[in-house]
Structure 1
Amino acid sequence: MDVLFNPVVISVLVLIILSLMKIHVIFALMLAAISAGLLAGLPLGETVTVLVEGMGGQSETALSYLLLGIFASMIAMSGIVRVLLSYLLKVIGKRKYLLIFIFAGIGVLSQTVVPVHIAFIPILVPPLLMLFNKLKIDRRAVASALTYGLKAPYILLPVGYGLIFHGILVTEMQENGLDIGLSDIPAAMAIPVLGMTVGLLTAVFITYRKHREYEDIETVSDESVVTEGLTEKREKVNHLITVIAIIAAFVLQLTFDSMIIGALGGIAIMLLSQVIQIGRSEAAVREGVLMMGAIAFIMLIASGYASVLTETDAVDDLINTVAVWFEGIPHAVAAVMLLLVGLVITMGIGTSFGTIPIIAAVFVPLCMSLGFSPLATASLIGTAAALGDAGSPASDSTLGPTAGLAADGQHDHIWDTVVPTFLHYNIPLIIFGTMAAVIL
Structure 2
Amino acid sequence: MLTVPEHRGKADSRAIALPVMIFRRGAATPAADPVVYLPGGPGLSSIDGRSSGKGNPFLLERDQILLEGRGNKHAQPSLACPELNALRAAEATPAAQTEAVARCRAGLVAAGIDLDGYTSAESADDLDDLRRLLGIAQWNLIGYSYGTRLAQTVLARHPEGVRSVVLDSVLPVDINYDEMAAAPLRRAIDLVLDGCATEPACDVRYPDLRGRLDALLARADRDGIAAPGRVLRRRDIVNALAEGLQQPALIPALPRLISEAGQGRPQGLLPLLRSAPSSFNWGLRLSIWCGEEMPFEQSGRMAAQVAPALGLGGVDNRTATPGMCGAWRVAAAAAQANDAVKSDVPVLILAGEFDPVTPPAWGRRLLRSMPNARFVQIPGQAHGAMFNRCGGQLTLAFLRDPRAPLNLDCVAKMPGLVFAAD
Q: TM-score, normalised by structure 2?
A: 0.25
Higher strand residue share: 2
Higher helix residue share: 1
| More contact order relative to length (CA 8 Å, sep ≥ 6) | 1
